Chain A
Amino acid sequence: MNTAAPVKRHMGLRASRRAANTAIYVVLIAISVIWLIPFICILLQSFRVESTNEVGYVVPHVWGFDNYVNLAKTDFWRWYRNTFVIAICVAVFQTVIVLCMSYTLSRFRFKMRKPIMKLMLVLSLFPGMLTMIILYRVLADIGLTQANAVPGLILVYIASSGMGYYVSKGFFDTISKSLDEAARVDGATRLKVLVKIILPLSKPIVIYTILTAFMAPWGDFVFARYISMGTSKGMNVAVGMYNWLNKDQIGSRYTMFCAGGVLVALPVTILFLMLQRYYVEGVTGGAVKG
């Protein structure tokens, strides 16, 4: 076996590659530190027992679970449940709607197709913030605000979810049309084609859609705050916890905010990390191909 010569020949290359890799490691470690600092700070602060306000140091002097225990004394878990219910419902319905919409626009050729896509594009150019007031009014009229804000929020999130068809349409576009045609020739209905052929191939985009739909409600506070209108029963975690940073509450609630933050981040993060692979496939399969 010719060992000596090639090794010698590649020494320089390998050394330079090693140097490059070391540099990359240094950069990656630096980036990781920068990326993790805020989260580690929040985590540490949530275990601080000696005081509840903002402080200038990071590592607690006295450790404990007091903040987590105290959350039970507030409406936190109710908000948590609200958000969870919203997230689950939105994840289910939004996925169905987005898939319907994107599948149709990807697979069917009908008269209204282009106009619908153009309409979606035009609508997406309007700042959504603008319609907050009117949506509040509409929901208030049908009694879905304040204490009933949860179904109200679900309704609004779902109703406009068809607008987000773009990424999954891109994904469907990448699935070869010949599959459909073969099945159609065999006499399958369009419905059957969708359920039996396309969906099994679309696992990444389905999971991607579920994941993004599930994550969004956890962070919405501007609109959710409007809809709940000061009624604790109808708040989601973001709205409820955002109030803890008000001037009159931050002194006694800051560490609880951190603890609550950890609890909110936990399910979303775990879910995200578990399904990260599909997210990548979905986003690369869909987002980048028009």
Chain B
Amino acid sequence: MKRISDLEYLKLPRYKRLAYKVASFFASIPGAVWGLIKKIGLAIAGLFAGIGREISDIVSTFVHGSAPTKISYVVMGYGNMARGQWLRGILFLLFEIVFIGYMILAGGHWLSMLPSLGKQGPTEVYDWVLDTYTYEYHDNSFKILLYGVLTIFFIVAFIYTWRVNIRQNKIAEQILASGKKLKSGKDDLHSLVDDSFHKTLLALPMTGIIVFTVLPIIFMVLVAFTNYDGTHNGYSNNLFHWVGLDNFNTMLSWTANTRGGTQSYAATFGEVLTWTLIWAFFATFTNYFLGMLVAMAINKKGIRLKKMWRTILVMTIAIPQFISLLYVSKMFAKNGIMNGFLMDLGLIDQAIDFFGDASKPWLARVTVIVINIWIGIPYLMLMATGILMNIPQDLYESARIDGASGWQQYSKITLPYMLFVTGPYLLTSFTGNMNNFNVIFLLTGGAPTNSAASSAAGNVGYTDLLITWLFKITTGPQSQYYLASVVGIMVFVVVALITLIVYSALPSIKNEEDFQ
């Protein structure tokens, strides 16, 4: 695509400018993708180079180091202690002892089981005196996988700490050689509320995130490479095992006649993904514009009771969705209040089956989008209220003096300002809507059902998003955790792609410092 200069751009009529912007956005996508690939390549190359540097540094530190430094290679923290940094030294040593103890007592066992995920399933024993069956459980694939991963985490942490320990020795030697004093334990503690305050602040949140978010995600990604499901639960019936890429092949194959369905998984996935994207688009933008309109209406000069209008709308945020949405879904049932009302008004003479009619999937879909407006407008209304108040009033004043109409003021001042400051919000809201479990689950449960899709994967429906489909697979008749895991990974890939593309095409997000 031909680039044009700013001047040329300004000469273009407005519709052409828009067309140019859209076109340049899409034209930038291949470049962004290519840039991404290059970046990943460079990162990998950098990683190897970095490892090489680290190793050579470790070796040279050992060769040139003093005795305490050399001993520190085996007894962590020895160097620190020998140089009077007792606090650091003891912490290093303690960590090493805990690590070695753990590896001997438990870690080694889990690690050795990891390749097989267990050998001995449960056994049944008959007690003929009591005439009862009892059960003995042996290996537990789930625990092996979990603790195996944990152990690997621990090993990585240990290697990192060991490396830090060595680097500290090197730095300490350099400092001593230059004739300066080393930091004492007291200095270390003080720096935790000052220079290294960020470490103190981040310690707790990051630990939580690593244990309760990173670890589970890694675990679930690994599950995608096993046959973990209801009939292989790894403990009380059959153990589960590694199956390589089988599950991805299943998910991505176009062969019809999947277990309990006539549509291939790939086709089902494509359908659900398409609807998820359409849903996310409309759910985001209908709320965005309508919410803005409502906010402008309430904020308009001369409108009274502003607070009351806002309060009424805000009720939907305050009341838990499992109450309000469940109630609304009952209102839209075939014999619900909604149909009764429409029939009383004489608008329809037959009840509309909003969520049950598989021949009209779009009826259910549009209804869901409309009801979502009910939920989403208040958030946007609140946010827009705040932003609208921040727009400098003199902009409007001067526009009015120039004789700009209301629409011109909106399209020239309000909208661009809103779009500019809410760009990042729109992106997170889009991805948030892709994963909007509650609205779909509580309103329709995915209905109407797609009769061709596989029932083994939990009877996906026409309003199911990827996230609710994933839930259905997990809780479906065969509890196919491995398939849920594959879907989860694909959701990640899709969302990540969208985010990357938008990020690279939206300059305002990148320069966070600009706002400060």
Question: In their complex, do chains A and B touch, with some C-beta pair under 8 Å?
Answer: yes
Spell out A's residues near B (CB within 8 Å): 17, 20-21, 24-25, 27-28, 31-32, 34-36, 38-39, 41-42, 54, 56, 58, 97-98, 100-101, 103-104, 108, 110, 116, 119-123, 125-135, 137-138, 141, 155-156, 158-163, 165-166, 173-174, 176-177, 189-191, 194, 215, 218-219, 221-222, 238, 241-242, 245, 261, 264-265, 268-269, 271-273, 276, 279-281, 283-285, 287-290
Asked if residues A238 and B322 are in contact (CB atoms below 8 Å), the reply is: yes
Residues of A within 8 A of B215 (CB): 134
CB distance from B350 to the nearest CB of A (A): 17
Asked if residues B193 and A104 are in contact (CB atoms below 8 Å), the reply is: no
A130, A264, A289: the one contacting B515 at CB < 8 Å is A289
Give the distance in Å from the alpha carbon of A177 to the alpha carbon of B209 in the complex.
Answer: 28
Chain B contact residues (Cβ within 8 angstroms of A): what range?
35 or more
How would residues 420 to 443 of chain B score, 1 for a CB under 8 Å from any chain A CB and 0 otherwise?
Answer: 011111001001000101100100
Asked if residues A265 and B320 are in contact (CB atoms below 8 Å), the reply is: yes
Give the distance in Å from the alpha carbon of A91 to the alpha carbon of B456 in the complex.
Answer: 40
Residues of A within 8 A of B205 (CB): 97-98, 100-101, 161-162, 165
CB distance from A206 to the nearest CB of B (A): 15
CB distance from A125 to the nearest CB of B (A): 5
Residues of A within 8 A of B435 (CB): 127-128
Asked if residues A130 and B485 are in contact (CB atoms below 8 Å), the reply is: yes
Give the distance in Å from the alpha carbon of A191 to the alpha carbon of B197 in the complex.
Answer: 7
Give the distance in Å from the alpha carbon of A133 to the alpha carbon of B143 in the complex.
Answer: 12
B213, B470, B474: the one contacting A159 at CB < 8 Å is B213
Name 25 interchain pairs, CB-CB below 8 A, sorted by A: A24-B300, A25-B303, A28-B303, A32-B309, A34-B374, A38-B327, A56-B337, A97-B205, A98-B205, A129-B474, A131-B217, A135-B216, A137-B146, A160-B212, A163-B209, A166-B428, A189-B193, A190-B194, A269-B319, A276-B311, A283-B383, A288-B387, A288-B424, A288-B425, A290-B515
CB distance from A3 to the nearest CB of B (A): 21
A272-B217 contact in complex given A125-B492, A134-B146, A160-B209, C-beta closer than 8 Å: no
B220, B485, B509: the one contacting A290 at CB < 8 Å is B509
B202, B312, B315, B390: the one contacting A104 at CB < 8 Å is B202
Q: Tell me the nearest residue of chain B to A284, going by C-beta.
A: B386
Asked if residues B309 and A28 are in contact (CB atoms below 8 Å), the reply is: yes
Asked if residues B318 and A130 are in contact (CB atoms below 8 Å), the reply is: no
CB distance from B322 to the nearest CB of A (A): 5
Most buried by A among B143, B216, B438: B216
How would residues 432 to 462 of chain B score, 1 for a CB under 8 Å from any chain A CB and 0 otherwise?
Answer: 0001011001000000000000000000000
Residues of A within 8 A of B201 (CB): 100-101, 103-104
Spell out B's residues near A (CB within 8 Å): 142-143, 146, 193-195, 197-198, 201-202, 204-206, 208-209, 211-217, 219-220, 294, 297-298, 300, 302-303, 309-324, 326-328, 330-331, 335, 337, 340, 374, 382-383, 385-387, 390, 421-425, 428, 431, 435, 437-438, 441, 466-467, 470-471, 474, 481, 484-485, 488, 491-492, 495-496, 499, 508-509, 512, 515-516
A-B contact count (CB 8 A): 244
CB distance from A48 to the nearest CB of B (A): 14
Residues of B within 8 A of A215 (CB): 318, 320
Give the distance in Å from the alpha carbon of A25 to the alpha carbon of B424 in the complex.
Answer: 32
Residues of B within 8 A of A279 (CB): 382
Asked if residues A131 and B386 are in contact (CB atoms below 8 Å), the reply is: no
